Amino acid sequence: MISIIKSGLLCVSLFFAVSVNGQTKTVKTLVEGNCGMCKDRIEEAAKSDPNVTSATWSPDSKILNLTFNSKKTSEKAVLKKIAEVGHDNKS
């Protein structure tokens, strides 16, 4: 009986984990900028959206690695926030 309950809980846990991961999207996109101050501004603008879980921009490649909940926001919405602080991108 206990093993059936444990199996059931495991199945429910796995289902929940798959459901949450199904909403997460990661993209790489070009964002213009030059320096460490730009890096801070770009990452802070992206993370100002509460649905963004990760934003990392490289000054060398000018690529932003962005992870967000795709059920609640979009790449376009986040890139608009970045453009509003002065950094050109494909938005």
Q: Which of 61, 25, 23, 16 is nearest to 42 (CA)?
A: 61
Determine the pLDDT at residue 5.
Answer: 56
**pTM attached to this predicted model:** 0.75
Q: Is 66 left (phi over 0), alpha (psi -120 to 50) or beta?
A: beta
Determine the pLDDT at residue 90.
Answer: 87
Q: Are strands 52-57 and 63-69 parallel, antiparallel or unpaired?
A: antiparallel
**Which residue, chain included where needed, has tokens 């770009």?**
42
Give one DSSP letter per residue of 42-73, joined into a string. HHHHHHTSTTEEEEEE-TTT-EEEEEEETTT-
Per residue of the chain (91 residues), what is the pLDDT tens digit? 555 555 544 444 444 444 455 599 999 999 999 999 999 999 999 999 999 999 999 999 999 999 999 999 999 999 999 999 999 998 7
Determine the pLDDT at residue 11.
Answer: 45
